[in-house]
């Protein structure tokens, strides 16, 4: 039930009733991997697809809507997010097997999807075990690692448009390319159907163990980080360009370029979102000066500065 008395009156008066949970002024920092960022004006956790669709149908189009997964590849600025922030969990985190297909809710962790595929002897999804995030975000950015990407395994995705219409789009029509998709503006991924292939679980498990070992060896997985900061430019690796520009270990306030993998930014404990973003821009400046290459942010930066 919507607790209207908790909402900021100026926005509460324009929001439709929901069956899920909705609150005002919710701190987002604890929900992000970086552990930084300001609050959400409104945080809405829909009960299911129907609840989400009904809300978007009735929500005025001039109210901004932002969707968050587990915020593993996201930097929320210190001023927070105005409008409505939608976080998918519960029903949206379910995973089921349909023959050689895995049907995963957008809120399902990539690792969980890989483990469910392993449990039923379906190969081809192992790379998801090396991607920190959820399926919804993975589809939106065509996430990939260890030689595979979502585009290689996706059959279709279910979306809810900003107007509240539920649509199914075939994988080939999603416009997936390197860390990019052409989803309709404002559409929210709520489910994806991924294809696997039958194989002995022992062989699948061995590849997943190898991925986990390589990730632990090469990435600062126990730090407050946001995954790969910059996309690899054509014909080059971002981390190598950053290293050659002398940025390994570079600090600004409480933010640091990882010593272990210099395409990762780290919150050493007291960083602000501004520290992390400014450090990233300084890295871009130094790489541009050293190589003439402009690095593009892979981490999404959203919200207002303080």
- The secondary structure element, H or E, covering residue 157 is strand 154-160
How many CB atoms neighbour CB 9 within 10 A?
A: 9
d(Cα 16, Cα 133) in Å, to the nearest integer? Answer: 29
How deeply is 44 buried, as exposed, middle or buried, from its count of CB atoms within 10 A (0-12, 13-18, 19+)?
buried
Q: Cβ contacts of residue 287 below 8 Å, gap of 6+?
A: 241, 242, 245, 247, 293, 294, 295
Catalytic annotation, residues: 179, 228, 298
User: Among candidates 69, 79, 77, 129, which has minimal Cα distance to 105?
Assistant: 69
User: Among candidates 74, 76, 107, 73, which has minimal Cα distance to 188?
Assistant: 107
SS (H, E, C) 22-83: EEEEEECHHHCCCCCCCEEEEEEECCCHHHHHHHHHHCCCCCCEEEECCCCCEEECCCCEEE
């Amino acid at each position: 039930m919507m607790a209207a008395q908790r909402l900021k009156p100026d926005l509460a008066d324009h929001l439709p009733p929901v069956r899920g949970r909705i609150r005002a002024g919710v701190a987002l920092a604890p929900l992000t991997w970086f552990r930084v960022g300001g609050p959400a004006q409104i945080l809405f956790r829909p009960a299911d697809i129907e609840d989400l669709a009904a809300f978007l149908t009735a929500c005025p189009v001039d109210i901004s809507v932002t969707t968050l997964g587990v915020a593993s590849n996201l930097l929320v600025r210190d001023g927070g997010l105005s409008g409505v922030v939608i976080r998918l969990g519960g029903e949206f985190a379910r995973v089921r097997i349909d023959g050689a297909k895995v049907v995963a809710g957008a809120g399902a962790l990539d690792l969980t999807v890989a483990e469910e595929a392993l449990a039923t002897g379906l190969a081809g999804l192992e790379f998801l075990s090396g991607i920190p995030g959820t399926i919804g975000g993975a589809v939106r950015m065509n996430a990939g690692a260890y030689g595979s990407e979502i585009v290689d395994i996706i059959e279709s995705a279910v979306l809810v448009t900003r107007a509240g219409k539920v649509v199914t789009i075939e994988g080939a029509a999603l416009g997936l390319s390197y860390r990019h998709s052409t989803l309709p503006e404002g559409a929210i991924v709520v489910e994806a159907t991924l294809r696997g292939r039958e194989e002995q679980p022992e062989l699948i498990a061995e590849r997943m163990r190898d991925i986990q070992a390589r990730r632990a060896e090469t990435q600062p997985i126990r730090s407050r980080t946001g995954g790969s900061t910059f996309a690899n430019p054509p014909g080059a690796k971002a981390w190598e360009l950053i290293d050659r520009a002398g940025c390994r270990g570079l600090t600004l306030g409480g933010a640091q370029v990882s010593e272990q993998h210099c395409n990762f930014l780290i919150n050493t404990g007291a960083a602000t979102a501004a520290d992390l973003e400014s450090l990233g821009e300084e890295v871009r400046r130094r790489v541009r000066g050293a190589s003439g290459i402009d690095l593009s942010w892979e981490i999404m930066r959203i919200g207002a500065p303080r």
